Amino acid sequence: MKKIKTAVIGVGYLGKFHAAKYAALEQAELVAVVDSDPDAAARIAKEHATRALSDYRELFGAVDAVSIVVPTEHHYRVARECLENGIDVLVEKPMTVTLAEADELIALARARGRILQVGHLERFNAAVAALDGVITRPMFIETHRLAPFKNRGTDVDVILDIMIHDIDIILTFVGCPVTAIHAVGVPVVSPEKNDIANVRLEFESGCVANVTASRISLKEMRKTRIFQPDAYISIDFAAQHAEVYRRIEGSEEDAGMPQIMYEEIGIEPADALMSEITSFLGAVEKRCEPVVTGEAGRNALKVALEIVAQVEHRKKNIVI
């Protein structure tokens, strides 16, 4: 089997894990790692017996596919140049700073026949995969994504940093347009960027989602609860665990309460990042649409940017 020549652009906290996955996969050859910090590039390159580069342009003509794991403000430029030079791209979320940039990347990938995948990692969480066909008509969704403060990722606020994971998942589950957004956010530790935010999303189907994200919590939590006419579904993304509670149709009520059937979904824990990169390489090899397309990344970005705009508008209109 001909190996796919790969590289990782940006080998900081997350990029180094991308490099490790490519190096471990039989279908991939990790040709190089790239970072503006020569020491970081050299350290990761040594771990995986590959080349260290400081300029991603040296990859042109030498690789088939790349992961782009640089700060968000550089996503568009790096992804555009890679696509223009015939390289398939997995770009971390949020895919770009603006919708115009996202649209350009989508159009460019289509015109050049390139794969463009966006790094919404939770799509590859084993719990999400196990619920395929279970979530059918969500009417109320509640999510909590809480994490302790870390210095990394603060180039964007909590909405674009971690809430966007749940925005993408919710858009996928609901499958119809957002009709209303009510949001609030507060910077607590960061000088200007919001560190905690809450939003109520209303959908064309009548579904309502209440989404909370914080990066200043004492403990980590990544949980979602989904209510639909036939079931209540609980998902713990961190534990890769899911439960379903259903009313037993035709059952007699016991003391006025309907009988409920409990089902624990059988889940084989998996490495979500490995699944994401394996899926990306599969799309590269088969020349097929990736699981998380550029359009899906754009949809999540659009909602996230609308939330950010509403939060900022609210702040400007607060009278103290």
Residue 147 CA to residue 163 CA, distance in Å, equals 11
pLDDT at residue number 253: 56
Give the pair of three-digit tokens for residue 93. Answer: 């979320």
* CA 37/CA 173 separation, integer angstroms: 40
What is the per-residue pLDDT across 265-293, written as a single tens digit (0 to 9) for each?
Answer: 889 999 999 999 999 999 999 999 999 99
| pLDDT band, very low/low/confident/very high, at 320 (cuts 50, 70, 90) | very low
In terms of average pLDDT, the best of 100-109, 146-155, 245-254, 258-267 is 100-109
Q: Is residue 196 over pLDDT 80?
A: yes
> Do 294 and 119 meet the contact criterion of CB atoms below 8 Å apart?
no
> Where do the domains of the chain lie, and which CATH numbers do they carry?
4-120+272-291 (3.40.50.720), 123-269+304-315 (3.30.360.10)
Q: Using an 8 Å Cβ cutoff, are 105 and 95 in contact? A: yes
Predicted pLDDT of residue 154: 66
pLDDT at 115: 98
The Cα 262–Cα 253 span in angstroms is: 16
